[in-house]
């Protein structure tokens, strides 16, 4: 049984920005692309694809669905049978003064599936109508379960030639992370000891990545949102995978909220179980 990548589209230019990334992920993972259009208007598959400006010739395994109803709830119901959701941060209204459109915000908060978000103006490296990340950034803080939660992102990255940057962010010059493992203050840390620390960090917190030759570990100190944004700009990261706790309530998910405002590249949000 093939997995599914869900692509909700409302026919707006903002939502259609997610088409090539969604199609590319489905092809990479040999999954079915499930194109979902929510409308009261009944259309044939051919009419719907024409409305969505999609050519059937560029699709591999796919299904096309249209359903009536409240958009966020329809997407959430359809997502239950899918492995990934790829969608635009905004739809028809496309008010980019908001970090997310109302439909996308509801889906992100209520689904347990990994969601990859594409901004209307996101710079995408596309060749032959295919998108692949070249330099991925994965921020980690060593909390229990965070590295295991990254499996959906690693499933994609392992099938590309992307370089992976692991960024461990400490709030102070030295802190304890899971297992009483001290993170060194990188500015004064000897090169040999830093290499050993990085290998041990991968072994403890990213066991599935420790033999992955394109993984680099970096250490940073300061505000997480600021450090992630600065690192991604300096290193030209074109994909960021973030593990989070699943609520954007007041004073929660401050780092994620900042990334949604200021980060332009595709952003995959993965909830901790």
From 3.40.50.620, 3.40.190.10, 3.50.50.60, 1.10.260.40, which CATH number describes the 133-271 domain? 3.40.50.620
Task: Report the DSSP beta bridge partners of residue 10.
Answer: none
Among the listed residues 272, 197, 257, the one whose alpha carbon sits nearest the alpha carbon of residue 223: 257
Among the listed residues 250, 244, 242, 247, the one whose alpha carbon sits nearest the alpha carbon of residue 106: 247
pLDDT digits (tens, 9 = 90+) for 195-207: 666 666 666 656 5
pTM of the model as a whole: 0.86
Read off the pLDDT of each residue in 181-185 and give the average, rounded to a whole number: 44
* CATH topology match: 4-118 vs 133-271: yes
pLDDT digits (tens, 9 = 90+) for 240-261: 999 998 888 877 889 999 999 9
Domain spans in the chain, listed from the N-terminal domain onward? 4-118, 133-271
End-to-end CA separation in angstroms for the chain: 24
Question: Which range has the worst mean pLDDT, 23-32, 143-152, 177-186?
Answer: 177-186
Helix, strand or coil for residue 237?
coil
Q: Look up the CATH superfamily of 4-118.
A: HUPs (3.40.50.620)
Among the listed residues 223, 230, 255, the one whose alpha carbon sits nearest the alpha carbon of residue 242: 255
Question: Which range has the worst mean pLDDT, 80-84, 108-112, 217-221, 258-262?
Answer: 217-221
Q: Give the C-alpha separation, 168 to 202, whole Å.
A: 11
Among the listed residues 22, 89, 85, the one whose alpha carbon sits nearest the alpha carbon of residue 52: 22
In this prediction, residue 250 carries a pLDDT of 73
> For the chain, how many residues are written?
273
Query: Residue 85 to residues 19, 191, 225: CA-CA distances in angstroms?
Result: 11, 41, 24
Q: Give the C-alpha separation, 232 to 199, whole Å.
A: 22
Handedness of CA 103, 38, 126, 150 (dihedral sign): positive
243 phi and psi, to 5 degrees? -90, 135
């Amino acid at each position: 049984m093939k997995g599914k990548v869900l692509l909700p589209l409302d026919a707006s230019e903002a939502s259609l920005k997610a088409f090539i990334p969604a199609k590319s992920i489905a092809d990479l993972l040999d999954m079915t692309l499930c194109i979902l259009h929510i409308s009261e208007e009944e259309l044939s598959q051919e009419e719907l694809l024409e409305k969505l400006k999609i050519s059937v010739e560029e699709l591999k395994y796919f299904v096309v669905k249209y359903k009536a109803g409240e958009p966020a709830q329809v997407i959430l119901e359809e997502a239950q049978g899918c492995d990934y959701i790829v969608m635009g941060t905004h739809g028809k209204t496309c008010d980019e003064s908001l970090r997310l459109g109302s439909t996308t915000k509801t889906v992100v908060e209520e689904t347990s599936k990994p969601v990859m978000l594409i901004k209307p103006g996101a710079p995408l490296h596309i060749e032959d109508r295919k998108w692949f990340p070249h330099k991925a950034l994965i921020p980690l803080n060593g909390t229990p379960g965070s590295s295991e939660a990254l499996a959906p992102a690693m499933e994609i990255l392992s099938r590309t030639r992307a370089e992976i940057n692991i960024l461990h962010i400490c709030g102070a010059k030295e802190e304890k992370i899971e297992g009483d493992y001290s993170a060194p203050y990188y500015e004064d840390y000897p090169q040999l000891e830093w290499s050993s620390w990085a290998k041990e960090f991968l072994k403890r917190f990213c066991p599935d990545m420790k033999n992955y030759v394109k993984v680099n570990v970096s250490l940073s100190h300061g505000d997480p949102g600021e450090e992630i944004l600065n690192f991604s700009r300096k290193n030209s990261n074109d994909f960021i995978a973030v593990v989070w706790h699943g609520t954007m309530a007041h004073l929660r998910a401050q780092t994620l909220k900042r990334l949604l405002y200021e980060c332009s590249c595709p952003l995959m949000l993965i909830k901790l179980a």
